[in-house]
Amino acid sequence: MTKKFIAIALLASAALQVSAAERSETQIRQAAAAALAKMPSAMHKVRSAQPLRILAKNTQLTVVGYENGGFAIVANDDQFKPVFGYSETQFTTNNNPGFDWYMTTLNASLERAKQQGRKLEEAKPSPEYAASVGELLTTRWGQDTPYNNMTPLYTDKKTGEKKHYVAGCVSTAMSMILHYFKYPVHGEGNIIYDFAPGSGEPSQTLEADFSNTTYQWDKMLNEYKDGSYTEEQANAVATIMKHCGYAVRMQYTISGSGAFIYESCRALREYFGFNKNIKCYNRSYFNVEEWMNIVYRELNDKCPVLYGGQSNTTGGHCFILDGYNEDGEVHVNWGWNGDQNGYFDIAGLNGFSDGQQMVEMRTATDTRYQGSVRSLICMSGKLDMTYDEKTITASLDGYLINTDIDPFSGYIQLRAINLNTGKAYLLKKGQRLDGQDTSKGFYMDDITGSVAALPAGEYRVFLAAKDDDETTWQPIRSHEVDHNSYTLVINEDREIESLELDSDSSWTGIESVVTSGNTTPAVRGVYSLDGRYLGNDVSKLGKGLYIVNGEKVVK
């Protein structure tokens, strides 16, 4: 059976590689025209009277559009779907860093998939969400004047003139989302920090008093064009830009201003009154379906998502996801004065090497938001499990890392879940950690657990973590391309019949199933028997056997 499966897989891969072909220029133009027809009818009618032009091209992508605005991104190879994004704006090469990162990363993702002879995974919203969510933000803000009118000053070495550092992409994205919520009226607390800008500029001490500042949301404009705003309107937007920058300890430099995206999550909680449970997630440890479900969930609730990516060549970039269409493409506001804003495929981006992160944006008054799990312990390296008749030993050739912004205090455990019943079992409580800080790696001690209490059946065995403040256990996640569990079979004598590496690395949607007790599951939502999260409404699913709120249900 195994040999047949491998042969079929190889044939399928070979067939895909053979059938793939370069799209002709005519096909590329036709695909772009179909995408651009989605623009508002009046705009499309005017622009479509002009010829479509090839505006840019790289190894895997071609940008096609109209001279006066409107462009689409088309895959060169028919191994992939035709269109990966489109915008009503004019395509320019004005060094929009977020958009440039997207184009570079998407091109690399397609190259990698082509080399492996596979298609990219696509994503669409779950039936429980709205079919589409229109663009949420109305702002078209950027990083220069007047947005940076209150950032620190430096001396222009050519002119000797004092100038303001640019605001920074994290500050710009945060500010636009806060403006969307018109929240808060006042901040909380204050901050003082030092930064060293380099380039011969002296170090500076920066201070912001959030609690004694009133944010004048009604004075802020959707767009700031030269000569079209007052000093009061400029000061209003410059104030929130400054405070967001200081809150994330922005490192201002002449070449650009930067901050870690996870700092925005911490700052939103501490200084701007956002829900204390909002999270910063790392794409590397989520499969496509899980990742995009978080995006669609937030946007369905009319909550923009702070999003970022990083590359070795262009550094980090932060922007906003603020809507999606029926095809699952996400509306992106790049924070570059509206340039290149549009709908783009985010699911197709390679999750392993491009440093993608996102931050939930939930205010403290949002009663729909129940918070997220606290533990976000992940593994880097190979998980290995060995066994004898009654015990399993788990070891890790690598390390664990706390990817949450909160310190972790709790236990690492070896656990099993019955794939038939959803019942969870504690095999062994492992090492304890106290105050393990964010982004800090640590080595795991081997854990040997007993299976004596397990009835005959098939199980998934995995490492789990539980913070002292949690009531449920969470699976320790692995990189999307790795595996973090084994499949265990217990025979009627309650002995181990087999223990094999689990071929399914996407099962971690089961996070709510894992419990703090030995046998009683605390399931929220609907799951398949193999642990896949299927949403919250079983009525929308086909006939079958499901786990609904911890109970097996036949439909």
Residue bearing tokens 């972790």:
408
pLDDT of 12 reads 39
Cα dihedral sign for 105, 108, 113, 116? negative
Active site residue 317: yes
pLDDT of 95 reads 83
In contact, 428 and 453? CB cutoff 8 Å = no
pLDDT of 430 reads 93
Q: Looking at residue 496, what DSSP letter applies?
A: E
pLDDT of 243 reads 99
Q: How many CB atoms lie within 10 A of CB 12?
A: 12
pLDDT of 232 reads 98
In contact, 359 and 247? CB cutoff 8 Å = no
Structural domains of the chain in order of their starting residue, each with its CATH number: 126-369 (3.90.70.50), 377-521 (2.60.40)
pTM of the model: 0.85
Strand-pair partners of 490: 457, 496
Instruction: Exactly one of 169, 265, 280, 318 is catalytic; name it.
Output: 169
SS3 98: helix
Q: DSSP string covering 39-83, please?
A: S-HHHHHHHTTSPPEEEEE-SSEEEEE-TTS-EEEEESBTTS-SE
Give the chain's residues under pLDDT 70.
1-20, 41-49, 314, 351-354, 371-374, 503-555
In contact, 519 and 423? CB cutoff 8 Å = yes
pLDDT of 464 reads 95
Backbone angles phi, psi at 262, to 5 degrees: -65, -25
pLDDT of 316 reads 83
Q: What letter represents residue 424's amino acid? A: A
**122 vs 418: CA distance, rounded Å:** 30
Closest by CA to 468, choosing from 501, 420, 435, is 435
Instruction: Exactly one of 317, 318, 378, 479 is catalytic; name it.
Output: 317
Task: Give tens-digit pLDDT for 342-354.
Answer: 999 999 997 665 6
Length of the chain in residues, anyone?
A: 555
What is the maximum alpha-carbon separation in the chain? Answer: 84
pLDDT of 519 reads 35
Contacts of 12 (CB under 8 A, 6+ apart): none
Tokens of 408: 């972790």
**401 vs 474: CA distance, rounded Å:** 14
Which helix or strand (DSSP H or E) is residue 263 part of?
helix 261-271
Active site residue 318: no
Chain-centre distance for alpha carbon 122: 15
**527 vs 420: CA distance, rounded Å:** 11
**474 vs 377: CA distance, rounded Å:** 8
Q: What's the Rg (C-alpha) of the chain? A: 25
SS3 228: coil
SS3 448: strand
Q: Is 348 exposed, middle or buried (0-12, 13-18, 19+ CB in 10 A)?
A: buried
**303 vs 177: CA distance, rounded Å:** 9
pLDDT of 526 reads 57
Strand blocks (E) in 363-456? 377-387, 391-402, 408-418, 424-436, 441-442, 447-450
pLDDT of 549 reads 52
